[in-house]
Amino acid sequence: MYQWSANINVMIKAARKAGRSLMRDFKEVEHLQVSSKGPGDFVSRADLKAEEILKEELLEVRPNYGFFGEESTEIKGADPTRRWIVDPLDGTTNFLHGLPHWAISIALEHKGEIVAAVIFNPIGDEMYIAEKGGGAWLNDKRIRVSGRTQMIEMIFATGLPFAGSSDLPTTLQDLARILPACAGVRRWGAAALDLAYVAAGRYDGYWERNLNAWDIAAGLLLVQEAGGMSCSVYPDGKSLTDGSVIAANGSVFNQFVKVIRND
């Protein structure tokens, strides 16, 4: 088993504590007080509580780091080179509908680069961990991207627009190109887990637009450390700033990028 850094151990502890809180609320999901942030985008009491737990745990141990989370104002740390990037509940809509597919995502950024990542799926007790140069792991086992080489044998994941999103035509065009060329496309509603599944070889690739840094920061490092590749959907873009991603194993990556970009 790889010897994790002190930061990874802090992240694991924080994720497990927030996970326990979310599991308690998930069992009472029909009683949660929910407020709408916008069409199809909900925030729950559980979501806010989980972020407070993560913030307390991470900043107690690393008070000089910044904190960038989905549900609160960004905190600038005394150390401007390091910040936590956190999604306390990736897959909120699944959670609120009682669907057991959601996760906690924590990434550590250093000088603009993600150097440590934890994605925790409390339902399955799956802890995905990656550290720059240390490989990608699922609990205590090393994981790798899939070894498939033919797109027609591959399964891809994506997100689908909802509630009048402006990118519906673009997504339909993506699907029209990719569906005839592969074994299937899945939409499970949690970007962090989509990337974790690519890292674990469960999906062969994943693409999506209109995301936030906290949705994908941890997952990007997991894919990289699992031997995969990723880039922005846009030729001159960067995933963490433009909120888009294409990720896959090395065998199909270039072909997959061409299909999504329609090159």
pLDDT at 127: 98
pLDDT digits (tens, 9 = 90+) for 33-74: 666 665 445 567 889 999 999 999 999 999 999 999 988 889
| CB contact burial 29-44 (16+ within 10 A = b; e otherwise) | eeeeeeeeeeeeebbb
User: Residue 229 pLDDT more than 70?
Assistant: yes
Query: What residues make up the domain containing 175?
Result: 151-261
Cβ neighbours, 10 Å, residue 148: 18
**Stated pTM of the model:** 0.94
pLDDT at 36: 63
Angle at 185 between CA 36 and CA 97, to 5 degrees: 30
pLDDT confidence band for 184 (50 / 70 / 90): very high
Does residue 129 share a domain with residue 96? yes
Does residue 232 share a domain with residue 126? no
Does residue 67 share a domain with residue 137? yes
Read off the CATH number of the domain in which 222 is found: 3.40.190.80
Mean pLDDT of 119-131: 98
pLDDT confidence band for 86 (50 / 70 / 90): very high
Q: Given 143, 174, 201, which residue is the final one in a domain?
A: 143
Mean pLDDT of 156-182: 90
Q: Percentage of the chain with pLDDT > 90?
A: 83
